[in-house]
Homo-oligomer: A and B are copies of this chain.
Amino acid sequence: MSRVGYHHGDLRASLLASALELVETAGPEQLSLRAVAREAGVSPNAPYNHYADKAALLAALALHGLEQVRESMVAAAAAADPGDEIFAITAAAVRHALARPGLYRLTVAHMCGDDPRIRAAEDAVRAVVAGGVAATTGGSGADALCAGVWALAQGLTLLLVDGALKPAPHQTVDDFVRATVQATLTAGAAAPVAVEGRR
């Protein structure tokens, strides 16, 4: 942490860590490059030796978040009972975001850019979802179902982080996610009208 000499040692990583902390305490909107440098105990311009500009630092942070959530998802999928992967993956994504809401919001905000590395990280996440869908349904799930499950996970995460959706009292987040995913994926049985291929 504290520097001994003129040089820092591993500022690049230190900046990421400081930003990771500040994005939770100050929120993604208020995160300033200068504050990150301050937190790392370094002059306002030092970051420019490691990141082209503020957007690059934030992109690295978003990338970090995406890779981290992907790891949580693969771990959850591996530990899940067979046939339960879809829920396990969704719950992992939700838990990760709820544990680091600032990072999640920053990541969402940066998914709209066209950074190829972020795009690649998103594709990796999507691949995990596709794998989980395939494992749960037995066969290789159709593309449409993969997209739907991914969107469902993403939407649940967004709404839970917002506070727009709240588990009932005495209901854990996991239980809420399980109930919601299950109700959604089996809605067709209860409402056959929606099933008909209406062109």
Contacts and interface: CB of A to CB of B under 8 A. Distances in A.
Interface in A167-199: 178-191, 193-198
A35 interface: no
Given A83-B193, A148-B156, A184-B184, 13 more contacts: A84-B193, A111-B164, A112-B161, A112-B163, A122-B164, A136-B194, A137-B187, A137-B190, A147-B180, A151-B158, A151-B184, A185-B188, A186-B194
A10 interface: no
A105 B105 CA distance: 11
A155 interface: yes
Contacts of A180: 144, 147-148, 151
A154 B161 contact: no
Contacts of A86: 194
A194 B198 CA distance: 25
B197 A182 contact: yes
Interface string A64-75: 000000000000
The 6 closest A-B pairs by CB, nearest first: A148-B184, A155-B155, A186-B188, A151-B155, A83-B193, A144-B183
A152 interface: yes
Interface string A136-160: 1110001011011111111110110
Given A145-B184, A191-B137, A29 B109 contact: yes
Contact of A193 (B136, B142, B158): B136
Contact of A154 (B87, B148, B159, B179): B159
A188 B152 CA distance: 14
Contacts of A29: 109
Given A153-B155, A158-B158, A138 B108 contact: no
A114 B27 CA distance: 14
A165 interface: yes
A53 interface: no
B191 A188 contact: no
